[in-house]
Chain A
Amino acid sequence: MNTGLELQDVSLSVGSRQLLSLSCTIAPGEVMTVMGASGTGKSTLLAFIAGFLNEAFTAEGRIVLENKALNSVPAEQRRIGLLFQDALLFPHLSVAENLKFGLVRTAGESRKDRDDRVEQALEAISLGGFGDRDPASLSGGQQSRIALMRLLLSEPQAILLDEPFSNLDMQLRGEIRAFTFDSIRAANIPALLVTHDLADAQAAGGKILAL
């Protein structure tokens, strides 16, 4: 039973100044939004949850995912995925290699099976046959979809979204946003969205927390 992502009495501070404190539970399939102006510690919160908190900050409280405390687990073992403002497809890898980078290995799976899974994933985002392409040759929208698919193929148990739509133009923005939230709901994964755009928060449809 997936119990979602819990933040228990989390408080972040830099030196003696407290940035934020919160407690909340994000249910599977829910996209909770944290809103606030820059400097309120939104990105610090994401870094803390993902496992990259800079030494300059001190954090208290527990991160609980699937009934397990994550505080001392290394980032690569937390199974928490990240989506940034930019698609950040690795420029030295092909589209398929980007997807394979995070693809979870299953026992007894052949190379061919993995290639097939990648191709199916590409078809699912209407980019079938794009595996050999150079990421730099794709449009912004295509890159965004591949970035999300790469994230989903790594089978995360929670997703953090760091203003993922703010670099997209208005037309693309609504489309990618709907696609992202639908995919998260379909995968039934808890997600935390950080944004300063109210439209993003409303489209997310979950709790909204203003800092």
Chain B
Amino acid sequence: MTWATRFLFFVLGAPLLLGSALALAPAFTQTSLVVNSTGQMGQLLPPAFLTLLSTPGIATSAITSLVSGLLTPAISLAIVFLFLAATQGNSIGNAIAKLSAPVLAIPHAAAAFALALLLAPSGVASRVVASLLGWDLPPDYLFINDPNGLALILGLVLKEAPFLLLISLAALPSLGAPRRVALARTLGYKPTTAWLLTVAPVLYPLVRLPLFAVIVFASSAVDVALILGPSLPPTLSVRLLEWFVAPEIESRQLASAAALLQLVVSLSALGIWLLFERVVARAFAPLAARGASRLSARRVTYDTALTALGNALLPLSLAFILIGIGALMLTSVGTEWRYPALVPSVWSTQQWTSALSEWRAPLFNATMIALLSVTAALALSLFMLEAQARSSVSTARIATFLYLPLLVPQVVFISGIAVLAERALLPPSLTLVAAGHFLFVLPYVYLTLQGGYARFDTRWLMLARTLGASNTVCFWRIRLPLLSTQLVTAVMLGLAISLSLYLPTQILGAGRIPTLTTEAIALVSSGNRSTIGTWALLQSALPTLCFMLALVLPRLIWSRRKGML
């Protein structure tokens, strides 16, 4: 291990360990003498845990989080793999895959608002049905904030499926999928089945780590849960946040005990997933070994059904978000929108003009935090990668380590870091929030650039050196320009992620550093659709711009250098 690697381990590992430790510590400290009347249990567990376990609905909260942590990755992965199996790189599939990139740019919160507006009883979907069937009143169902957390899971799936799709598309070219499918087809398998039997098993290991990140995120997400999740009781992560920000010391201890429970829930979700993996692997081998039966009509029906699902589900989930965003636009300019009308009856730009007078500070804060965290992540990533490239050490294992901040529930270690900052008498500031964002931006920036470094043709550097250029000159005049596309992608991805982060901003900023994201989510309880629409769109605008720039900038910069595109 080089010193550069050790440094990276420290920069990521220390806040994670220290943050988690400090988040969990208060639960184990007894600040007051509690007289125990509950018998043996009381002597075994610190009082904060007893309080937590006797909190009404805590088991329901934990189970909702656990179920969301398991169903979200399972459904997302199924949608993505079926889509890839059904389309197999055909032109329609490619066009849809391109559409998923801008959906990835839309922040979780805005996507959740969009879904709510689409599927609520008086939402757009219900209005379409109403105008067809002649309803006058919205139907009576509870979908958004439903007690089973189905809306929460759907909201998460809509965002995580495009993420897994992008990861899969990046990994696929190295697998020789067309050859594998062709071979299986000559053995008598239908195309979709052939893909699922021959490509899926080799693709899965390559998306496993990102998938684990999805499991942890889905079992502990706060922003989506606030908007779409159940409210009586809310998910464990939401309750944890509520307790953490409450002023009483007892609720801090409760939050700490809840952080431990959250850790247990997220780790259980991972553990159950690992078991699930084994079961599927066991079931898979005999399935493939059974052989293709050319004449079996049932097999053909299965394949047709899988193909249809694959073709339908992912486009449908993209459509949900895009139509929802359209609805957000309508609602942001409509002051009166009676059910079941499809468009508002009274239009006004009042929401925008009043929002525009309030968005300056949040926009400034969000931009500064994003720029600070991305600059730091970019500098550190380049420094590490360059050091490793020169010492010719393999960097494969570091990638696994970089996923750590994504594999520990944010709400746990970020609240610990906030405690650490309080103890060190660091007031909430842009820099502190940016430091928190840095931990989430770094993995993506580093992994994007690492891909560029790994594919870099070292002959360029050899050539430059034999022409008299030193290592430093090579870095600035050869390495960076040749990596410019990856640099732009890394920066824009980092900015988009930072601009969308809710929890680190809210906790480390102690609610005093408003950004577009925190302001949008703060409107949840207001119930004012118009205002929510305006802010959700404002919140989406910058990340979307970043993704567009990532596509357009390299073409602009290198319009006169075809070899760079």
A residues near B, CB below 8 A? 50-52, 54-55, 74-82, 84, 86, 88-92, 101-102, 104, 134-137, 150-151, 154, 156
Q: How far is the CA of A74 from the CA of B462 in the complex (A)?
A: 11
- The CA of A89 and the CA of B561, in the complex, are separated in Å by 12
**Are A76 and B562 closer than 8 Å at their CB atoms?**
no
Chain B positions within 8 Å of A54 at CB level:
392
Alpha-carbon separation in the docked complex, A183 to B528 (Å)? 78
Bound complex: CA of A102 vs CA of B466, how far in Å? Answer: 9
B 436-494 contacts with A by CB, 8 A = 459-460, 462-470, 477-478, 481-482, 484
B563→A136 contact, CB < 8 A: yes
Chain B residues with a Cβ under 8 A of chain A: 392, 459-460, 462-470, 477-478, 481-482, 484, 558, 560-564
In the complex, are the beta carbons of B481 and A92 less than 8 A apart? yes
Q: Are B562 and A134 in contact (CB under 8 A)?
A: yes
Residue contact A84 to B463, C-beta cutoff 8 Å? yes
Does B561 contact A136, Cβ atoms closer than 8 Å? yes
Closest Cβ neighbor of B461 among chain A residues: A52
A154 contacts across to B, CB distance below 8 A: 466-468
With the chains together, A86 CA to B463 CA distance in Å? 11
Contact pick for B466, options A89, A92, A136, A156, CB 8 Å: A156
Given contacts A92-B482, A92-B558, A136-B561, contact A81 B464 (CB under 8 A): no
Q: List 5 A-B contacts (CB under 8 A).
A: A79-B468, A91-B561, A92-B482, A102-B468, A136-B561
Judge whether A150 and B467 touch: CB under 8 Å.
Answer: yes
Do A76 and B465 have beta carbons less than 8 Å apart?
yes
Task: Kindly provide the distance from the CB of A88 to the nearest chain B CB, expressed in whole angstroms.
Answer: 6
Chain A: minimal CB distance from B231 (Å): 55
On whether the beta carbons of A82 and B563 are closer than 8 Å, the reply is no
A80 contacts which chain B residues (CB < 8 A)?
466
Known: A84-B459, A91-B482. A75 touches B561 (CB 8 A): no
**Is B564 touching A92 in the complex (CB atoms < 8 A)?**
yes
Could you tell me the distance between the alpha carbons of A86 and B462 in the complex, rounded to whole angstroms?
A: 13
Given A55-B392, A92-B481, A92-B484, A76-B563 contact (CB < 8 Å): no
- Asked whether A101 lies within 8 Å of B392 as measured between CB atoms, the reply is no
Q: Which residues of chain B are within 8 angstroms of A137 by Cβ–Cβ distance?
A: 562
Q: Which residue of B lies closest to A91 (CB)?
A: B563
Nearest neighbor of A137 in chain B, beta-carbon distance = B562
Return the 8 tightest CB-CB contacts between A and B, nearest first: A91-B563, A102-B467, A136-B563, A136-B562, A75-B465, A92-B481, A82-B466, A76-B465
Judging by beta carbons under 8 Å apart, are B467 and A101 in contact? yes
CB distance from A9 to the nearest CB of B (A): 24
Q: Are B470 and A76 in contact (CB under 8 A)?
A: yes
A183 → chain B closest CB, angstroms: 16
Name the residue among A78, A80, A82, A104 with the largest chain B CB count within 10 angstroms: A82
Chain B nearest CB, measured from A149 CB (Å): 12
CB of A162 to closest CB in B, whole Å: 9
Give A88 to B463 CA distance when docked, in angstroms.
Answer: 8
Decide if A75 touches B564 in the complex (CB within 8 Å).
Answer: no
Q: Are A134 and B462 in contact (CB under 8 A)?
A: no
Most chain A beta-carbon contacts within 10 A, residue among B465, B470, B558: B465
**A134 CB contact (under 8 Å) in B459, B464, B467, B563:** B563
Q: Which residue of A lies closest to B457 (CB)?
A: A88
Q: Which residue of chain A has the shortest Cβ distance to B480 in the bound complex?
A: A92
* CB pair B560 A134 closer than 8 Å: yes
Q: In the assembled complex, how far is the CB of residue B327 from the closest CB belonging to chain A, in whole angstroms?
A: 44
A76/B462 in contact, CB under 8 A: no
Taking A150-B467, A151-B467 as given, write out 16 further A-B residue pairs in contact, using a Cβ cutoff of 8 Å, ordered by the A residue number. Answer: A51-B465, A76-B470, A78-B466, A79-B468, A82-B462, A86-B459, A88-B459, A88-B460, A90-B460, A91-B561, A92-B481, A92-B484, A92-B563, A92-B564, A104-B468, A134-B563
Option from B464, B470, B484, B558 in Cβ contact (under 8 Å) with A101: B464
CB-based nearest B residue for A104: B468
Q: How far is the CA of A1 from the CA of B416 in the complex (A)?
A: 72
Q: How many Å lie between the Cα of A154 and that of B469 in the bound state?
A: 11
Asked, given contacts A55-B392, A90-B460, A92-B482, whether A81 binds B467 with beta carbons under 8 Å apart, the answer is yes
Docked-complex contact B478 and A90, CB < 8 angstroms: yes
Chain B residues whose CB sits within 8 angstroms of the CB of A92 once the complex forms: 481-482, 484, 558, 561, 563-564
- Please name all residues of chain A whose beta carbon is closer than 8 Å to the beta carbon of B459 when the two chains form the complex: 84, 86, 88
A86 to B101, CA, bound (A): 35
Rounded to whole angstroms, the CA-CA distance of A91 and B481 in the bound complex is 9
Point out the residues of chain A lying under 8 angstroms from B478, CB to CB.
90
Query: Within the complex, what minimum Cβ distance (angstroms) separates B458 from chain A?
Result: 8
Q: Please measure, in the bound complex, the distance between the C-alpha atom of A84 and the C-alpha atom of B394, giving whole angstroms.
A: 25
Residues of B within 8 Å of A89, CB to CB, are 563
| A104 to B465 alpha-carbon distance, docked (Å) | 13
Interface centre among B392, B468, B477, B564 (most CB of A within 10 A): B468
Which residues on the A side are within 8 Å of B482 (C-beta)? 90-92
Is B469 touching A82 in the complex (CB atoms < 8 A)?
no
Q: Chain B nearest CB: distance from A64 CB in Å?
A: 18
Closest to B393 in A: A55
* Least Cβ–Cβ distance between A148 and chain B, in angstroms: 13
Chain B residues with CB under 8 A of A86:
459
Residues of B within 8 A of A135 (CB): 563
Please indicate the chain B residues that have their CB under 8 angstroms from the CB of A50 in the complex: 462, 466
B560 / chain A contacts, CB cutoff of 8 Å: 134
Least Cβ–Cβ distance between A140 and chain B, in angstroms = 13
Q: When the two chains form their complex, are residues A76 and B468 in contact, meaning their CB atoms are under 8 A apart?
A: yes
Residues of A with C-beta under 8 A to B468: 76-77, 79, 102, 104, 154
The complex places the Cα of A55 from the Cα of B560 at a distance, in Å, of: 39
Bound complex: CA A109 to CA B477 (Å): 22
The smallest C-beta distance from A181 to any residue of chain B, in angstroms, reads 19
In the bound complex, CA of A79 to CA of B466 (Å): 7
Q: A54-B392, A134-B562, A134-B563 are in contact. Are A76 and B481 (CB under 8 A)?
A: no
Cβ-defined contact, B469 with A76, below 8 A? yes
A82 partner residues in chain B, CB cutoff 8 A: 462-463, 466
B462 to chain A: closest residue by CB: A52
* Chain B neighbourhood of A151, CB < 8 A: 467
Taking the closest CB of chain B, its distance from the CB of A185, in whole angstroms, is 20
> Which residues of chain A come closer than 8 Å to B467, judged between CB atoms?
76, 81, 101-102, 150-151, 154
Shortest distance between the CB of B535 and any CB in chain A (Å): 41
Query: CA separation between A101 and B468, bound complex, in Å?
Result: 9
The CA of A76 and the CA of B472, in the complex, are separated in Å by 11
| Residues from chain B with Cβ under 8 Å of A52 in the complex | 462, 465
When chains A and B are docked, how far (Å) is the Cα of A136 from the Cα of B477? 18
Chain A residues positioned under 8 Å from B477 (CB to CB): 101
Whether A75 lies near B562 (C-beta < 8 A) is no
- How far is A74 from B561 in the complex, measured between Cα atoms in Å? 31
Chain B neighbourhood of A74, CB < 8 A: 465, 470
Chain B hits for A90, CB < 8 A? 460, 464, 478, 482
Complexed CA–CA distance, A89 and B467 (Å): 12
Q: Give complex CA distance A91, B564 in Å.
A: 6
* B466 and A81 form a contact (CB under 8 A): yes
C-alpha gap A52/B463 in the complex (Å): 11
Residues of A within 8 A of B561 (CB): 91-92, 134, 136
